[in-house]
Amino acid sequence: QSALTQPASVSGSPGQSITISCTGTSADVGGYNYVSWYQHHPGKPPQLVIYDVRKRPSGVSSRFSGSRSGNTASLTVSRLQAEDEADYYCSSYTGTHKLVFGGGTKLTVL
């Protein structure tokens, strides 16, 4: 199973919005409603910010939103804050209880 494709890096200024893409195939991103996004600060465990394509766990800021079009899922972070600077990973269920992650995207808040 190949990793999902994410841009290596994105950046934005405080207050702006950014979008991170996650491209897979019809066997993963496009085939199941089980795409998740994780925020990962170095030295800490990852934190779930979006699951089931667009659902937000309790306690996660409404500035985080998810969507999907075909085989590409997207994470949008609105009203950027300095604390949003982190690595972001998408993941997708691929059937028979298997999972695949994206390569990760480094978000820099300028």
Partner 1 sequence: QVQLVQSGAEVKKTGASVTVSCMTSGYTFTTYGVTWVRQAPGQGLEWMGMISATNGYTSYALKYQDRVTLTTDTSTSTAYMQLRSLTSADTAVYYCARDYYGSGSFRIDSWGQGTLVTVSS
Give the N- to C-terminal CA distance of the chain in Å, as an integer.
Answer: 35
Residue 27 contacts partner 1 per CB under 8 A? no
- CB of residue 1 to partner 1, shortest distance in Å: 7
Encoded one letter per residue, x for contact with partner 1 by CB under 8 A and - for no contact, window 91-110 reads x-x--xxxxxxxxx------
Residue 61 contacts partner 1 per CB under 8 A? no
Residue 66 contacts partner 1 per CB under 8 A? no
By CB under 8 A, what part of segment 30-59 binds partner 1? 32-34, 36, 38, 40, 45-48, 51-52, 55, 57
Which of 34, 55, 23 lies closest to 99, judged by CA? 34
Which of 81, 68, 95, 1 lies closest to 39, judged by CA? 81
